[in-house]
Amino acid sequence: MENRKRLIEAYGQMVEERVSMGWHPWLLTFTYKPLGGSPAMVVSRMRDEIERTYATVATRVVRRPNSPSQFETLPIWICSPDYPVYKRDKGSFRDNAVNDGLHFHGIGLMPPVSRMSESLEDHIDNFQTMYSGAHRDLFRVHVQAIEDEAAEVAGYALKGIDNPRINPDDVLILPRTRSEMPRG
């Protein structure tokens, strides 16, 4: 468990470093439609939806996101599976009941220079149906600007890493390095 806490802290430090370099931090929440299958299959499908969403956003940020010269200018997303925790405000029954409450939280870091003419929040709001349409497993993407305390918000977003029900290997870091990309 101590290693998991250190991992969360390290991600928080990385977020703070990027923010100090002019990157814009966002809290990302991905909720899903009911997904069948084994727990591993459900997480895999959830990750696939995040990767698809990221790939679409990346094309709005840089002209050729697959170009090696563009790697340093791509958005950075760190996303972790998460389960709801008890709160006085129970929140939406739907969000807690679907897929046993499993969803993903993440930190999205947008580079200081981007082709995207609107904020990430406005872009996702304006194109929500493209990301979470009727033919998608994704129910909704929620994006919220992080105004202060980016490392603490990163800790909140990635708290699932510290949950024994979550496999730390299910954390999704985008963009992938070229060596992690499937060969085709």
All structural domains of the chain with their residue ranges: 2-178
pLDDT in tens, the chain (184 residues): 688 889 899 999 999 999 999 999 999 999 999 999 998 999 999 999 999 999 999 999 999 998 888 999 999 999 999 988 755 555 554 455 789 899 999 999 999 999 999 999 999 999 999 999 889 999 999 999 999 999 899 888 988 888 888 888 889 999 986 555 444 4
Nearest to 36 by CA among 107, 89, 102: 102
Decide if 30 contacts 49 (C-beta within 8 A).
yes
- The tokens for 112 are 């200081």
CA–CA gap between residue 25 and residue 95 (Å, rounded) = 24
The radius of gyration of the chain from alpha carbons, rounded to an integer in Å, stands at 16
Decide if 5 contacts 139 (C-beta within 8 A).
no
